[in-house]
Amino acid sequence: MKTKSENIRNIAIIAHVDHGKTTLVDELLKQSGTFRANQDVAERVMDSGDIERERGITILAKNTAVYYNNIKINIIDTPGHADFGGEVERVLKMVNGVVLVVDAFEGAMPQTKFVLKKALELDLPVIVCINKIDRPEARPDEVIDEVLELFLDLDASDEQLDCPFVYASAKAGHAILDLSEEPENMQPLFETIVNYIPAPEGDPDADTQVLISTIDYNEYVGRIGVGKVDNGSLKVNQDVVVVNAHDPEKKSKVKISKLYEFEGLNKIEVTEAKIGSIVAISGISDIHIGDTLCSPENPVAIPFQKISEPTISMQFNVNDSPLAGQEGKFITSRHLRDRLFRELNTDVSLRVEETETTESFKVSGRGELHLSVLIENMRREGYEFSVSKAEVLYKYDEAGNLLEPMELAYVDVPEEFSGTVIQKLSTRKGELLGMSTANGGSTRLEFSIPSRGLIGYRGEFMTDTKGNGIINTIFNGYGPYKGDIQYRKQGSLIAFEAGEAITYGLFNAQERGTLFIGPGEKVYSGMVVGQNGKTDDIEVNVCKKKQLTNTRASGSDDALKLTPKRELSLEQSLEFIDKDELLEVTPVSLRIRKKILDPTLRKRAARNN
């Protein structure tokens, strides 16, 4: 017989990027007494990864739990970026409701729509939290209308439409149910969660069923499965069978060696977990997302939606440049292979495939950001390798027509830049679907555009809009191939010989375009040292010294004025490289190079194409 675990609530916090989810979780942790009064707590404490903290984004879904009036509230903080949508999709299976956080100024954004759609499809009750109400330009009433319109667009049921609204300032640490109230603390949000989100249901006397929704990984204990107890209970030393709804062949018998529940930011070891509890299980080496742990007598898998497929891929290669092995700790193909396959332990949206050569691997993900975060992580860990330009993954329909991944791009720009953006996206095969005046006098453009049309565009977009534009994209299925796109209108400046860059050589080279290197930097033949002002590639000799004709001229080099070099970040480098180029990544340097370093062989290959 089904019963409710009245002392538990399981919720996910979902929102568009930067609308304040993680800061909201911080406040719920603080005000529930999770931290000691004198404890020093970092801001956005849930973003534990270095890159998450630096970029201010959440990449991995995180679990935590707080207590309010003796009720345990399990909270999952989810990512807002479309590239990490795989994280959001699966954690929603663990919860009984969601808190949708919407910025009181920006309103409903593309990713708000994506995460809300997933929640409504699973029939989850929604609490709408209008955050940042203390912003000077906040417009909470209009935002409510936008959110309700979004509910209607997504065919929400009457019950879902009748959802509670809470107004909050996560930064100031308070929430209210009515805009005329004086804000005090987060209690109104706690109360709404407890009263509106249903307690988890299940049959305590039935056979055990636990669906694994997240995988954590730890060097010491290996894979850790995180999931919710749907039926029965789970005990330490219990024998269970692992089955999977998408893989009927899978059936392995295992023993539960360690069991944890979440409290605050810690995992607490427990001996038994009952219905509705979110638990972490270690000691099962072959556990995957979507697996169900069941009693051996009645192994029934819980259905689980498939994770969205990757849309973009890159080649990760062993670094074979003349400077290879000088700056990295892990440089061999075995190191590279082990690291990439280890990433699959925790990242469900990633695919790694071996190629004909042991020196290269095809890595596919949900977008450029998804793969650049992996590259940055590996770089920090001491890996040295090279990557190719991102390419989209094509499909064929039954009639044999080529299909490519499409995106919906929502662009908010000041009015004076809208013409440039429309022109640029049109040349990249974008189709303008709508244009409207957004809040604050900016223009909102909506495009349907092939995913490959957006590769390498973000940097150009920021330049074109003088840093004032916002572009958000969301995967929109596959559509017919839209034809060829010319990515880069400018060629590369290529080093002619190996050596060290000299001021005199750089001074002569800078007349041809923009340089990426400065004096004293090591270069090799075939390395890209700058961007040509024209469309073709040019070889330049940046190591060239001035011929000394008399004794006085040797010091006149000091008078040569070099334009400051253009420092490219990882993202900018990935956007810049062309199809015949690679990005050499080491813990110290980022170098762009031609795939074929030898100039004669390179010219021959270009002729044959």
**553 against 514, higher pLDDT:** 514
Pairing between β-strand 278-282 and β-strand 266-270 as defined by DSSP bridges? unpaired
Identify the pLDDT of residue 20: 65
DSSP one-letter string for 73-102:
EEEEE---SGGGHHHHHHHGGG-SEEEEEE
- Asked whether 592 and 514 are in contact (CB, 8 A), the reply is no
Pairing between β-strand 581-585 and β-strand 385-388 as defined by DSSP bridges? antiparallel
Return d(Cα 28, Cα 38) in angstroms, integer: 17
Quick one: average pLDDT of 287-306?
Answer: 79
Quick one: average pLDDT of 265-276?
Answer: 79
pLDDT in tens, 107-122: 777 667 777 887 888 8
**134 against 387, higher pLDDT:** 387
Residue 57 reports pLDDT greater than 80: no
pLDDT band at 83 (very low <50, low <70, confident <90, very high): very low
Residue that has been written with the tokens 């006085």 in this structure = 552
Residue 61 reports pLDDT greater than 80: no
3-state SS record for 380-425: HCCECEEEECCEECCEECCCCCEEEEEEEEEEEEEHHHHHHHHHHH
- Asked whether 412 and 470 are in contact (CB, 8 A), the reply is yes
Q: Encoding tokens for residue 205?
A: 């006397």
pLDDT in tens, 368-390: 777 888 898 899 889 999 999 98
Q: Which of 48-57, 353-362, 552-561 has the highest mean pLDDT?
A: 353-362
**Rounded to the nearest 5°, which phi and psi values hold at 291?**
-75, 150
E strand or H helix that includes residue 351: strand 351-354
Residue 413 reports pLDDT greater than 90: no
pLDDT in tens, 392-405: 999 998 888 999 99
Domains in the chain, CATH or no CATH each: 3-201 (3.40.50.300), 203-294 (2.40.30.10), 395-480 (3.30.70.240), 492-608 (2.40.50.250)
Q: What is the rounded (10 degree) CA torsion for 512, 517, 519, 524?
A: -90
Window from 200-204, 358-362, 520-524, 597-601 with minimum mean pLDDT: 200-204
